[in-house]
């Protein structure tokens, strides 16, 4: 069994508890309290339980605390994968979605994810899944709205004549 990693000596338990009390991040507070328990002489397993983690995770946080101090106990944002469409291609996709499909050219009257997936693949050479197409649309500021489709041969005059109209309400005097 290996020896416990030494924790830095420029802090003590009371300082870490004060920092934990002032922290607005509950996860950082739990980590600080676990480290304070180590300073108080608690076993590493018990100190890990204080913070709701296992010993290995506590060990990783001790390494980070030793290297970078208490501010390193925040969760670091994950960058994720790099988007395969450039900014120009995303702008072009946004304009495609804004203008809508051409029934003669595209053969559809409204965009669906599967249709946009095909457009992205054909136009940009990038293959995405339907769910990721939804994420791209969301990131571009579009929300899911399903408009009632309109037949291209619809006559507006017939629709106006068919609509029921109610007489105007007269105001009380």
Give residue-wise pLDDT tens across range 109-151: 889 999 999 999 999 999 999 999 999 999 999 987 766 777 7
CB of 53 closer than 8 Å to CB of 62: no
> Does 83 or 142 have the greater pLDDT score?
142
Percent of the chain clearing pLDDT 90 (strictly above): 68
CB of 1 closer than 8 Å to CB of 44: no
Q: Measured between alpha carbons, how far is 173 from 161 in angstroms, rounded to an integer?
A: 32
Structure tokens that stand for 88 in this block:
């120009």
- The domain ranges of the chain are 13-73, 78-145
> Does 3 or 88 have the greater pLDDT score?
88
CB of 17 closer than 8 Å to CB of 33: yes
Structure tokens that stand for 23 in this block:
């922290």
Handedness of CA 136, 137, 138, 140 (dihedral sign): positive
Question: Cα-Cα-Cα-Cα dihedral of 32, 37, 41, 46, to 10°?
Answer: -120
């Amino acid at each position: 069994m290996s020896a416990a990693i030494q924790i830095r000596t420029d802090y003590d338990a009371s300082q870490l508890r004060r920092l934990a009390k002032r922290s607005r991040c509950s996860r950082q507070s739990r980590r600080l309290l676990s480290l304070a328990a180590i300073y108080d002489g608690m076993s590493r397993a018990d100190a890990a339980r204080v913070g709701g983690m296992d010993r290995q995770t506590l060990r990783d946080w001790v390494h980070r605390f030793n290297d970078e101090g208490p501010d390193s106990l925040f969760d670091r944002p994950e960058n994720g994968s790099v988007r395969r469409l450039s900014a120009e291609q995303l702008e072009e996709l946004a304009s495609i979605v804004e203008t809508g499909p051409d029934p003669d050219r595209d053969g559809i009257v409204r965009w669906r994810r599967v249709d946009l997936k095909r457009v992205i693949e054909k136009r940009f050479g990038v293959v995405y899944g339907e769910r990721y197409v939804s994420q791209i649309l969301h990131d571009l500021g579009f929300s899911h709205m399903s408009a009632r489709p309109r037949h291209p041969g619809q006559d507006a005059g017939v629709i106006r004549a068919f609509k029921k109209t109610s007489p105007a309400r007269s105001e009380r005097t």
